[in-house]
Amino acid sequence: MLRLIMTRVFLGCVTLFAVTLLIFAATEILPGDVASAVLGQGATPETLAAFRIELGLDRPAYVRYLEWLTNALQGDLGIAMTNKREVLATITPRLYNTLFLAGYAAAIAVPIAIILGIIAAINEGKWIDRTANILTLGAISVPEFFIAYILILVFATNLGWFPSLSTVYGDMGFWQKIHVVALPALTLTMLVMAHMLRMTRASVLAIMSQPYIEMAFLKGLPRRRVILRHALPNAAAPIISVVALNLAYLIVGVVVIEVVFVYPGVGQYMVDGVSKRDLPVIQACALVFGGAFVLLNTIADILAILVNPRLRHPR
Amino acid sequence: MAIQNSLKNPPISAKIGMVILVVFIFFAIFAPLIAPYGEAESIGKTWASPSAEFLLGTDNIGRDMLSRIIFGARMTLGVATACTLLSFLIGITMGLLAAVAGKALDQILSRFVDLMLSIPILVFALMILSMFGSSLFTLIITIGILDSFRVFRLARSIAINIVVTEFVEVARLRGEGLWWIMVREVLPNALPPMIAEFGLRFCFNFLFVAGLSFLGLGIQPPFADWGGMVRENGRAIAFGIPAPLWPAIAIGLTTISVNMIVDWILSINARPSGASAEM
Amino acid sequence: MEDFSKKLKDAERLAARSGVSRRDFMQLAMMTGLSVSAAGAMFSKAEAAETPKKGGTLRMGMEGGSATDSLDPRTYADSVMIAASLAVYDSMVEFDNAGNPTGALLESWEAKPGAVEWIFNVRQGIKFSNGKTLDADDILYSIGIHRGEDTKSPAKGILAQIADIKAITPSQISVTLSSGNADFPVILGDYHLVVVPNGFTDWENPVGTGAYKLASFEPGVRLVFENRGDYWMAGRANFDRVELLNIQDVAARTAALQSGQVDAVNRLDARTVDLMKGNNALSIVRTKGTGNRFCFVSRVTSPGFENKDLRLALKWGIDREKIIDSVYSGYAVPGNDHTLDAFNPYYNTDMPQRAYDPDKAAYHFKKSGLSGEITLSTSEGAWGSAVDCAQLYQESMSKAGITLNVKKESADGYWDNIWLKEPFCAVYWGRRLSADQTFTQVYGSGSDWNDSDWRVPAFDKLVEAARVELDETKRKEQYFECQEMIAEDGGMVCFAITDYLDGYSSKVMGVQPHARYDMNDNRIASKGWFA
């Protein structure tokens, strides 16, 4: 088991390295560079050239990448080319915010989705199953900004229970943050619940019709024991996979929420960085996102093995 | 008490779902004949309320909402179907292959997919855009490929659990080939969760398509598509104007219908003895 | 029975903000029984500068910022940074509400006949926030960072006309231009040209002569300013604290204003602003007809577009009124295919406003001898509603029998890859404060930004002559002719000039339309106060 974890960690690092290389190459290939993006309508051949020389962009690509890599390995993520701010200092509070929001939403969504999914599977066809399905399906049918606007309209503009702006600052207390960030967290919860709930339901349903479950019931085992000890571990794999995918989404996919609620997270930082082709910013965000995926997928794979011992010795 | 489901007796929910889907497909095929106005005609005031003239009101530049929804069925359903089919084809094949074909291939494919998932969608889409330009074909390929990575993760995790069962071991010992094992042993058992996933991904893609439109990769004007209509009219809801509700409801109805049908298909799996979780 | 006394009070408050005309006010006042002279006196009193009250925290929510923003004046491109810069820095030349240049840190100026040599007087007794007194060297340095071979500033182009600039005394600067320009002071009012101390480079910790000091800056999120306490201009710098939040999404911005989380927002959505009219807690300030010019520009050197008849077909085939009605809910005026607006003193009032004429469009298209589709490149990256405008254009052209293909391009890199490259695309132009600047930058043969690629020596000659012409009548004639040439022969289809729509809490005073930019020329932090 330990060897497995070590292998996965090593492979994860290799993947991360490949991510940074790939993103670097992608940004180079994309038309335009930071000089043309920042100068915009004000760009002329001379100003473009001056900008590029000042940032060292006239050096070959591999030199610049290696320089970035050596610095990154020592913990120096460089300086943004657009506004000369330290990338590490800028991204750290934003990363904390992103994780806070993702954690907030996940803490609500994951338990509810899985529990409701199991209940829906057990009560297949009954009203609780139908209602849970229709409500969550309705929620994922609409884009994130839509749910966000409706929640803002109802809870901020009309009722005034929560603020419409969720900007958080370093000096805010924990419970104040919980209050201010409630609406985006609620939006995200509604968005991810359906996927996890339906996958839980489908997976449990598939297992429930297996002969050994029927056998367990016939043996007289209590329902709770059958579901928790016999059915769930086998249904777990796809559930874990979907939960991992949704957790990853909560970290990397919520730019629209950040924009609508003015929440300073990593998503907006990356989008602005890509728009201005600011390489150090893009690379740092790629590291964060790549790291999130690698970490979550690794944990998911390890959990899957724990749950199904046969996977420890495949073949 | 469990409801007896079979191929011949769909439950109410699936029946309703099928009716709704048929209506939308009807819209898609016969749009020019049933829609009261043209797809791109701007004949009313912006964001007018529903009236006798415009049954669902008008949109952000004064076009009839009802007509746009009818016409929108074409692009919405058509593009989403194409994308989802493509992503599932790629994702399931790769996922099953990774589970069945041995550790090395599994690691290579999984890490490759991790790598692809880590590339922000924005960067990925921009790259495709710069290399292939924007067209409907590029759009479908882009979304199909982007989605396939997530389908891969799911398919692989399900398949891995199936591959370690006795059935597959027996098949291997029998000397069955890779392809046979994949299609005859693994796939049928992997189907139920994958069908559930298909139902969901199909509907995610309505919005995914619209989400890429600011990059120029979406559906080009003047064609209507429901996701795009929600996007264009979206901010009106913040002011209490109901305009974006109509395409959102269209998407919602389609999502619910498709998934009710999926539920029915899944429940056919139930044991003939009627025994189910309820015991 | 109408509550006239309340209405009168509201009208008085409006008068203080120049929100109601003298005539309207008098009509209302006299309805309450006041005599003509009493009503007139009341108006004058209300209109006279209300003494601004000091205190309070102004919270602004603005669109136009990004996580890549910087306080370096050479990088300013959008509203949030411009507004931020004007809180901590001052400019050399300001503009009054009608758009005429007035002295700021450059107190006054005079030109020698011929408008080639200029003398500027530096305002005395002004201190930077670090205690240093303002002198000519600071001005020279502040201009200098935007000039020179290796500058990367976008202001380099407009300053190219300076042949020589030097300090005569610590309080006087002499400028020699490469050729005469009667409107030169307007150039020094460019938003990039703010004044910093001589040799200053620490942009993260700005030192300026402005009303406020920077307390914190998170790019793309928020700026916080504290009043520095000793601002040199009376009646300004009235808030204790100013918070500038970057709110890109229009619905979020409006909701924040409506729920009272911010006191001032820019760029309200024209299509929904009427819904807020009934709310007495808010005031909407509309700057009419001097906002952005929205255009579709064709490059006259591209195949097909060299044909003048085709260009005329494009201009007759666009339904300006419909676009203004549907996309801007009437908050715009039609453009007449040259980019001047009616408030410019040289606006050609002789030319009839071109309107939608499908027959003329069809006629010119046929006369051009061309056939097939015309492709228009547009994007949300050009301006937010550019795709909507293009779709309406497509409709109106199809009624004239011309197929216009709308190609929605990526918002990313629009200005790099599409503008100045594609043969027919969407572009917007901000207001330039002199006709000369407009004609030189947008239509001049030597300009890098001549997006229609329309380079006509006769036109350049006209513009050069007008630049130094002191006889107003003659100058007007010359500029009138310029506009005719552009509208008739050029590649620009300028169809709308939009209004700016700012939203404020009704407690915020000193909010007035300004002929240059929104939010009182981006100076609301400096000029405003709480009631």
- Return the higher-pLDDT residue of C294 and A212: C294
CB-neighbour burial class of residue B7 (10 A; exposed 0-12, middle 13-18, buried 19+): exposed
The pLDDT score that the predictor gives to residue A47 is: 79
Using an 8 Å CB-CB cutoff, list chain C residues near A80: 68
pLDDT at C352 over 60: yes
Cβ-contact C525, C58 below 8 angstroms:
yes
Most confident of A227-231, B6-10, C1-5: A227-231
Interface test with C, best of B39, B41, B43, B46 (most C CBs within 10 A): B46
Alpha helix segments (H runs only) across C89-216: 136-144, 156-159, 184-187
State how far the Cα of C329 lies from the Cα of C272, in Å rounded to an integer.
8
**Position C58 confidence tier, pLDDT thresholds 50, 70, 90:** very high
What is the token pair recorded at B212? Answer: 């890429």
* Mean pLDDT confidence for C84-105: 92
Please measure the distance between the N-terminal and C-terminal CA atoms of chain C and give it in whole angstroms: 29
Q: Which pLDDT tens digit goes with each residue over C259-284?
A: 899 999 999 999 999 888 888 899 99
Q: Which residue has the tokens 């132009």?
A: C429
State how far the Cα of A153 lies from the Cα of A211, in Å rounded to an integer.
51
**Position C10 confidence tier, pLDDT thresholds 50, 70, 90:** low
Per-residue pLDDT 10s for chain A (315 aa) are: 788 788 888 888 888 889 889 989 888 888 888 888 877 766 778 878 888 888 888 888 888 899 899 998 898 899 998 888 999 999 999 999 999 999 999 999 999 999 998 888 888 778 888 888 888 888 888 888 888 998 998 998 888 899 989 888 878 889 999 999 999 999 999 989 888 998 888 888 888 878 888 888 888 887 777 777 778 887 888 888 889 989 998 998 888 899 999 999 999 999 999 888 899 999 999 888 888 888 898 888 888 888 877 776 654
For the beta carbon of residue A45, count every other beta carbon within 10 angstroms.
8
State how far the Cα of C409 lies from the Cα of B217, in Å rounded to an integer.
8
pLDDT at B6 over 70: no
The pLDDT score that the predictor gives to residue B278 is: 33
C247 vs A30, A262, A272: nearest CB: A262
pLDDT at C360 over 80: yes
User: Does B259 contact A294 at a Cβ distance shorter than 8 Å?
Assistant: no
Q: Which pLDDT tens digit goes with each residue over C406-463?
A: 998 888 888 888 998 999 999 999 898 889 999 998 999 988 889 999 999 999 999 9
Cβ-contact B105, A285 below 8 angstroms:
no
Beta bridge partners of A51: none
**Position B20 confidence tier, pLDDT thresholds 50, 70, 90:** very high
**Position B1 confidence tier, pLDDT thresholds 50, 70, 90:** very low
What is the dihedral sign for C-alpha C437, C441, C442, C445?
Answer: positive
User: Does B41 contact C250 at a Cβ distance shorter than 8 Å?
Assistant: no
User: Does B237 contact A146 at a Cβ distance shorter than 8 Å?
Assistant: yes
Give the gap in angstroms from C-alpha C417 to the nearest C-alpha of chain B. Answer: 10
Cβ-contact C35, C510 below 8 angstroms:
no
**Position B128 confidence tier, pLDDT thresholds 50, 70, 90:** confident
ipTM of model over 0.90: no
Using an 8 Å CB-CB cutoff, list chain B residues near C403: none
SS3 C320: helix
* Mean pLDDT confidence for B196-204: 88
Buried-state track C437-463, b at ≥16 Cβ within 10 A, e below 16? bbbbbbbbeebbbbbbbbebeebbebb
Query: Which residues have CB under 8 Å from C249's CB, separation 6+?
Result: A145, A259, A260, A262, B235
Chains that touch B (3 or more CB pairs under 8 A): A, C
Cβ-contact C91, C189 below 8 angstroms:
yes
Buried-state track B193-213, b at ≥16 Cβ within 10 A, e below 16? bbbbbbbbbbbbbbbbbbbbb
Q: Which residue has the tokens 């790598």?
A: B115
Alpha helix segments (H runs only) across chain B: 12-34, 65-100, 103-118, 121-132, 136-163, 166-174, 178-180, 187-211, 226-233, 245-267
Q: Which residue has the tokens 């609409």?
A: A142
What is the token pair recorded at C242? Answer: 């100013």
| Cβ–Cβ contact B241 with C under 8 A | yes
Number of H helices and E strands in chain A, helices first, is 15, 0
Query: Which residues have CB under 8 Å from C16's CB, separation 6+?
Result: C46, C47, C50, C509
Which chain A residue shows the shortest CA-CA distance from C260? A157
Using an 8 Å CB-CB cutoff, list chain C residues near B239: 251, 254, 272, 275
For the beta carbon of residue C245, count every other beta carbon within 10 angstroms.
22
Q: Which pLDDT tens digit goes with each residue over B54-94?
A: 999 999 999 999 999 999 999 999 999 999 999 999 999 99
Identity of residue A225: R
State how far the Cα of C92 lies from the Cα of C194, in Å rounded to an integer.
7
Cβ-contact C436, C296 below 8 angstroms:
no
CB-neighbour burial class of residue A218 (10 A; exposed 0-12, middle 13-18, buried 19+): exposed
State how far the Cα of C38 lies from the Cα of C31, in Å rounded to an integer.
12
Alpha helix segments (H runs only) across C211-357: 250-258, 308-316, 320-328
For the beta carbon of residue A129, count every other beta carbon within 10 angstroms.
21
Give the 3-state DSSP-derived string for C395-429, with helices as H, strands as E and coil as C: HHHHHCCCCEEEEECCCCCHHHHCCCCCCEEEEEE
B221 vs C250, C255, C406: nearest CB: C406
Beta bridge partners of C194: C91
CA distances to B40, B168, C39 from C23, in Å: 45, 92, 10
Which range has the worst mean pLDDT, A40-49, C15-24, C401-410? C15-24
SS3 C467: helix
Interface test with A, best of C221, C222, C380, C449 (most A CBs within 10 A): C221
State how far the Cα of B99 lies from the Cα of B158, in Å rounded to an integer.
9
* Closest among C91, C183, C171 to C136, alpha carbons compared: C171
State how far the Cα of C425 lies from the Cα of C390, in Å rounded to an integer.
10
Using an 8 Å CB-CB cutoff, list chain A residues near B270: 209
Cβ-contact A23, A11 below 8 angstroms:
no
Give the gap in angstroms from C-alpha A306 to the nearest C-alpha of chain C. Answer: 42
Strand order in the sheet with C374-378: C332-334, C492-498, C293-298, C424-429, C374-378, C404-408
Angle at which helices A87-122 and A279-307 cross, to 10°:
30
Beta bridge partners of B107: none
pLDDT at B275 over 50: no
Q: Which pLDDT tens digit goes with each residue over B207-250?
A: 888 888 777 777 888 899 898 899 889 889 888 889 999 999 99
Q: Which residue has the tokens 């469009």?
A: C361
pLDDT at B3 over 50: no
User: Does B123 contact A274 at a Cβ distance shorter than 8 Å?
Assistant: yes
The pLDDT score that the predictor gives to residue C7 is: 66
| Cβ–Cβ contact B43 with C under 8 A | no
SS3 A43: coil
Cis peptide before B188 (omega within 30 of 0): no
Element (H, E) at A180: helix A174-180
State how far the Cα of C98 lies from the Cα of B132, in Å rounded to an integer.
49
* Closest among A35, A97, C376 to B222, alpha carbons compared: C376
Give the gap in angstroms from C-alpha C412 to the nearest C-alpha of chain A. Answer: 6
Cβ-contact C63, C256 below 8 angstroms:
no
CB-neighbour burial class of residue B52 (10 A; exposed 0-12, middle 13-18, buried 19+): exposed
State how far the Cα of C165 lies from the Cα of C174, in Å rounded to an integer.
6
State how far the Cα of B233 lies from the Cα of B249, in Å rounded to an integer.
13
State how far the Cα of B27 lies from the Cα of B78, in Å rounded to an integer.
12
Please measure the distance between the N-terminal and C-terminal CA atoms of chain B and give it in whole angstroms: 9
Q: What is the pTM of this model?
A: 0.86
